[in-house]
Amino acid sequence: MSSISASDLRIIIKGAIHMAQQDNKVVSAEEGLIRNIIKAGNIDSDEFSDLNAPLEDDISELSQQLSDDRAKKVFLLTLFSVAYSDKDFDESEQELLDALSLKLGVGKIKMDGHTMEACEKEVIKLIAG
């Protein structure tokens, strides 16, 4: 299985940060997951040092720059994992995930049966290659 490119990974991380900020509060569980993703992807942590700083990038437009369907699926799974990590799946998070799923055209993340731990492990495994 091919690994996620560095440019795709940066888009995935920006998406994760955007999702964490979606409900106006980045909690420790979200931050921990994003930090684990950065580490697994061997990205310089200084590049994403302030997870509370508003992103200037439009996440919908950025998602269109993902290189292939695999990266798009990892992107959606990562966003779902971040949204789910605080155990408070906000309506705005669901709406964002639904809109991006439609735009990317690679299917939707099925939420039944997912545990946070399973989602996080899968995301880390996919990103680490």
Domains belonging to the chain, first-starting first, are: 6-128 (1.10.3680)
> pLDDT at position 1, please?
43
Phi, psi angle pair for 121, to nearest 5°: -60, -40
CB-neighbour burial class of residue 50 (10 A; exposed 0-12, middle 13-18, buried 19+): exposed
pLDDT of 97 above 80: yes
> CA-to-CA distance for 90 and 29, rounded, in angstroms?
15
Q: For 5-51, write each residue's pLDDT tens digit.
A: 999 999 999 999 999 998 788 889 999 999 999 999 999 999 999 99
pLDDT of 2 above 80: no
Residue recorded with tokens 């439009």: 58
Supply the pTM of this predicted model: 0.87
> CA-to-CA distance for 79 and 16, rounded, in angstroms?
5
Q: For 25-38, write each residue's pLDDT tens digit.
A: 888 999 999 999 99
Residue recorded with tokens 């200084």: 46
pLDDT of 119 above 80: no
Return the structure tokens found at 53. 């700083």
